[in-house]
Structure 1
Amino acid sequence: MARNGRRRAPWAAVGGAALLALGGTAWLVWAGAADDGPRESWRAAEADTGGDGASDLALWVHDGVVARVGPTGVGAIVGHDAADGAARWRLPAPEGTEGPCAASERVNAEGVGVVLYHSPDAGGCTVLAAIDAGDGALLWSHDFGALDPALTSPPGESATVAVGATTVTVKLSPANIPEGFFRLDLASGQLLPAPGDVPGQGCATGWVPVTVDHADARLVTLARCADAAEAGAEPRLAMGVHDAETGEPLWGRALENLAVIPADVVAGPAGGPLVVAQGEALVAYSEAGQELWRLAADGRGLVERAVTDGVLVVESLPTDDVGDEGADESAGVTFEGYALDDGERLWRGTFPEGTAFLGADPATGRALLGSYAYAQGEGGQLTLSWLGLADGATEGAGTVPFPLERGTVEALAAFDAERFYLGGGLASEARLRAFAR
């Protein structure tokens, strides 16, 4: 079962055509000349590609500034004026690090974002920094380098960081190991207590965390009861849910089927159902801990792309174990929208093979999709379309030049009221661009 995160779109430009390397099969795609696409407002001059052309980690948009957080190998984060692209500030990577390896998807309401940097001395992503996206000020940093390297992630793995109004959460371990999960006070950078108990579930000797994960406004702990093991009884496992901002315990639930336990948190919006990957299904729980619905994977990989206005949007991917009887890999890319409260499928849309989910705009309830193709004599092109997250309605947005720097690329988009911004593993002259909406 796949979890949330952008899917790398393996677009490879080879010999005047584009080879879409999907599931071990190369699809040859030709496209005609670009149409009248959205008007380009600006492109950042001399954008630092670094990182062997790897994808950017985040685009932060706040109060007239667009900040590009590049991959490991890019030494600095640069904030650009949203109106004309001029560089407003440049923040070098902390001394002793090699650049970012994880970042909060967006900044909070005050414009603060967090970045996790790679430390070659520690052998992992261990230096956390809070940054003001308005002026590029480094507010504080925290070094987790004293941790056992087994608890940290190398660049490219699934370390995740998030920022709220007053709290930062960071998961260093790809395996959700509790010793690699931390909460920090946003104002000071000081460590806060990590969740460990299971609300409403008794255990005489106390619950021992087994895994901890986070998404949106929720922290989820999988814990075992030590007294059962000491008495020689069957192990007792339970799921405990906490508020990510305050650490307040919200609810707990005993797990009866130990063969099917929560693996990852998929979505945890404040005031809405919690969705977790559990066995071969997505399972939603109410704010009181009652199971609301479950969505069986049925041989697919289900990847969360957005949660907005009570709708969970997932991308349905074929998996290696589907086999010859699975979905046709040339059938296209499928997105589906499900009601969070009852799991009803509201819409389903299939798009051309190679279509990637570039980003969601919560202000408008729409997402930007991009489909890459190579036109002989024209170069790489990205055909854009808007996807309504509530109803699946689509609207063409035109085609823009998209010069690849290397064989694989993961593009991403960010938004404000006047423009949208495209970044990715592109040639330096097109690494960060703004387009009028």
Structure 2
Amino acid sequence: MRGVRGTRDGIRGRLAGTATAALAVVAVAAAAGGCTGGDGGGGEPTPDGATYPPADALERLWAVPGGDTGVAGWSTPDTFATAVLPGTLRGYDPETGAERWRLALPEGSTEICAMSEEPNAAGIVAVVFRTPVAEGEFDDGFGGSCSTVGAVSLDDGDLLWSESLVDRVEYAAEPEVALGESVLTYAAPYGEVFRFRAADGEELSAATSPGPRTAVLGERRHVLLDQSGEEDWLRVRDAETDELLWERPAGENEGEPLQIVADDPDVPLLVLFDDGGQATLRAYDDTGEPRYELGPDDAGAPATENAWVPFRGPLVEDGVLVTGYADDPRLHAHDLTTGEELWSTPLEGGRPFAIQDGRLLVSVPEHPDDEHRFEQRLYAYDLHGGERTELGLVAHLHPWDPDGPTTPLETAVIPLATDADRTYVLHLVSGGDGPRILAYPLP
């Protein structure tokens, strides 16, 4: 799952905004407060004679209060953990929703800025914290500096170690952080890179650059655009050893790397670039030779500025890349090795939710009765063939009087994590009971 990050100027800002909009769906503000049980499988009649929850609604396993935002989560066999912002990281029992632990922030830190996308095999995640800066000092726009990095155990929520880099980075508004099997890497927006041993925080050597560069981090490899000389160079380094794996001159139209999309063994390195306002996916082999490129023209979308913007991701699993295009009403699945399109399907206003057990989960909005009733239905697409199966209802608005006191509020539903049995979402509510974290079973 993608970690919590800020946005850089240009297309990265638009990517973040589009990703948020892509996840925003209308849902119901159901019963709240504390940890509560299911609400699916048919319910009580409402004033207009309808029954809510509908009989085909997925049963809600549990719900707990959430924060104002929370856009990252992880699931292990024993713990579901998520960032509850503003604030800290919390761990829950995945079956009951009971809070198991709450992360104590490092001394002087106020909240979480960024996190690694996945825990490593030891159940450790990397976290970046915001620390206030003195008045008059250069801050990140929120009165602080995202320059304290640390490692957290998901088993018990212990902060294993933390290190302040506030005096060693020029600007720390939107850092990158990644965690491999044994090495944690932090990169500041202007390209300063720091490496630490994940287990105990011992600082490791890192290649430097005499001038500006852009760094995007993956679990296995890091991509750096070095702009310190007369010619720009694209360099890829091993995340564990910092060894230079390959380098090549960056062409005039190469653009700025924004995100490592695929970084697994035996598949090309897939990188999302900003080509002067136009997003492009490029795949490279182990020597740096380009394998294929995907952009608006490859999906039949018009090649206008910002025409190609991925919905939440793109999503990658089991050798398949799934992405959508801003000006294209279809969802596309590609072979990750060759770039060949495997299948596409109309989105019908829906959005990719997650990939789980060989199937792509997509939520689709529906208005079955009238303007006051709204449903969000979950479908599963076979990842390799595109065949669709309906799973059930995951969100709904009661068809009550919109001016009445019991009117549900429009909310945003943000996927946090999905495991073999459940999906976990954040319901952002504009009032009433407030945001909640919910767990649904997956049939």
TM-score when normalising by structure 1: 0.74
* 1:343-362 map, 5 Å: 343-353=339-349, 355-361=350-356
CA distance in 1: counterparts of 2:232 and 2:348, whole angstroms: 43
Task: Name the structure 1 match of 2:389.
Answer: 395
| Secondary structure at the counterpart of residue 7 of structure 1 | helix
Residue 191 of structure 2 is aligned to residue 185 of structure 1: no
RMSD of Structure 2 on Structure 1 (CA): 3.3
| Secondary structure at the counterpart of residue 253 of structure 1 | strand
- Compared with structure 1, are the counterparts of its residues 436 and 350 closer, same or farther at alpha carbon in structure 2 (3 Å cutoff)? closer
- Compared with structure 1, are the counterparts of its residues 395 and 172 closer, same or farther at alpha carbon in structure 2 (3 Å cutoff)? farther
More moved, 4-13 vs 300-309: 4-13
CA distance in 1: counterparts of 2:84 and 2:106, whole angstroms: 14
CA distance in 2: counterparts of 1:406 and 1:120, whole angstroms: 35
* 1:290-309 map, 5 Å: 290-297=289-296, 298-299=303-304, 300-303=307-310, 304-309=313-318
CA distance in 2: counterparts of 1:398 and 1:162, whole angstroms: 35
CA distance in 2: counterparts of 1:100 and 1:380, whole angstroms: 34
Task: Name the structure 1 match of 2:172.
Answer: 152
Residue 94 of structure 1: how far off its partner (Å)? 2.8
CA distance in 1: counterparts of 2:20 and 2:128, whole angstroms: 20
| Secondary structure at the counterpart of residue 376 of structure 2 | strand
Residue 394 of structure 1: how far off its partner (Å)? 2.7
- Compared with structure 1, are the counterparts of its residues 58 and 259 closer, same or farther at alpha carbon in structure 2 (3 Å cutoff)? closer
CA distance in 2: counterparts of 1:218 and 1:435, whole angstroms: 34
1:316-348 CA-to-partner distances (Å, cap 9, x unmatched) read 113xxxxxxxx6xxxx4x321222222211111
Task: Name the structure 2 match of 1:229.
Answer: none
Residue 268 of structure 2 is aligned to residue 254 of structure 1: no
CA distance in 1: counterparts of 2:412 and 2:15, whole angstroms: 18
Q: Which runs of 5+ in 1 are unaligned?
A: 15-30, 198-206, 227-234, 319-326
- Does the 8 A contact of 1:57 with 1:102 survive in 2? no
Residue type at the aligned position of 1:64: D
Task: Name the structure 2 match of 1:432.
Answer: 438
CA distance in 2: counterparts of 1:120 and 1:245, whole angstroms: 31
* 1:361-372 map, 5 Å: 361=356, 364-372=357-365
| Secondary structure at the counterpart of residue 252 of structure 1 | strand
- Does the 8 A contact of 1:171 with 1:182 survive in 2? yes
More moved, 397-406 vs 76-85: 397-406
Task: Name the structure 1 match of 2:324.
Answer: 315
Q: Which runs of 5+ in 2 are unaligned?
A: 1-10, 29-49, 134-138, 297-302, 398-406
Residue 411 of structure 1: how far off its partner (Å)? 0.4
- Return the match for 1:169 from 157, 178, 185: 185
- Does the 8 A contact of 1:100 with 1:117 survive in 2? yes
Task: Name the structure 1 match of 2:163.
Answer: 142
Task: Name the structure 2 match of 1:133.
Answer: 154
- Compared with structure 1, are the counterparts of its residues 120 and 432 closer, same or farther at alpha carbon in structure 2 (3 Å cutoff)? farther
Residue 393 of structure 1: how far off its partner (Å)? 3.0
CA distance in 2: counterparts of 1:127 and 1:63, whole angstroms: 29
| Secondary structure at the counterpart of residue 8 of structure 1 | helix
CA distance in 2: counterparts of 1:429 and 1:209, whole angstroms: 40
Residue 278 of structure 1: how far off its partner (Å)? 5.7
Residue type at the aligned position of 1:306: L
Residue type at the aligned position of 1:383: R
- Compared with structure 1, are the counterparts of its residues 360 and 210 closer, same or farther at alpha carbon in structure 2 (3 Å cutoff)? same
CA distance in 1: counterparts of 2:121 and 2:419, whole angstroms: 14
| Secondary structure at the counterpart of residue 428 of structure 2 | coil
Residue 295 of structure 2 is aligned to residue 288 of structure 1: no
- Does the 8 A contact of 1:97 with 1:119 survive in 2? yes
- Compared with structure 1, are the counterparts of its residues 301 and 12 closer, same or farther at alpha carbon in structure 2 (3 Å cutoff)? same
- Compared with structure 1, are the counterparts of its residues 224 and 85 closer, same or farther at alpha carbon in structure 2 (3 Å cutoff)? closer
CA distance in 2: counterparts of 1:40 and 1:12, whole angstroms: 17
- Does the 8 A contact of 2:219 with 2:263 survive in 1? yes
1:7-45 CA-to-partner distances (Å, cap 9, x unmatched) read 11345789xxxxxxxxxxxxxxxx99745122222223x
- Does the 8 A contact of 2:213 with 2:228 survive in 1? no
More moved, 337-346 vs 92-101: 92-101
* 1:85-100 map, 5 Å: 85-100=97-112
CA distance in 2: counterparts of 1:187 and 1:13, whole angstroms: 41
Task: Name the structure 2 match of 1:124.
Answer: 145
Structure with higher strand content: 1
- Compared with structure 1, are the counterparts of its residues 265 and 8 closer, same or farther at alpha carbon in structure 2 (3 Å cutoff)? closer
| Secondary structure at the counterpart of residue 339 of structure 2 | coil
Task: Name the structure 2 match of 1:231.
Answer: none
* Percent identity for Structure 1 against Structure 2: 26
- Return the match for 2:71 from 57, 60, 68: 57
- Return the match for 1:68 from 75, 82, 98: 82
- Return the match for 2:425 from 409, 422, 426: 422
CA distance in 2: counterparts of 1:224 and 1:420, whole angstroms: 42
Task: Name the structure 2 match of 1:244.
Answer: 239
- Compared with structure 1, are the counterparts of its residues 265 and 119 closer, same or farther at alpha carbon in structure 2 (3 Å cutoff)? same
Task: Name the structure 1 match of 2:40.
Answer: none
Residue type at the aligned position of 2:155: G
Residue 225 of structure 1: how far off its partner (Å)? 6.7
CA distance in 1: counterparts of 2:147 and 2:76, whole angstroms: 26
Residue 357 of structure 1: how far off its partner (Å)? 2.9
More moved, 365-374 vs 306-315: 365-374
- Compared with structure 1, are the counterparts of its residues 195 and 418 closer, same or farther at alpha carbon in structure 2 (3 Å cutoff)? same
- Does the 8 A contact of 2:27 with 2:376 survive in 1? no
Residue type at the aligned position of 1:86: A
- Compared with structure 1, are the counterparts of its residues 13 and 165 closer, same or farther at alpha carbon in structure 2 (3 Å cutoff)? closer
TM-score when normalising by structure 2: 0.73
The count of residues paired between Structure 1 and Structure 2 equals 370
Residue 96 of structure 2 is aligned to residue 84 of structure 1: yes
Residue type at the aligned position of 1:133: L
Residue 251 of structure 1: how far off its partner (Å)? 1.1
Residue type at the aligned position of 1:81: D
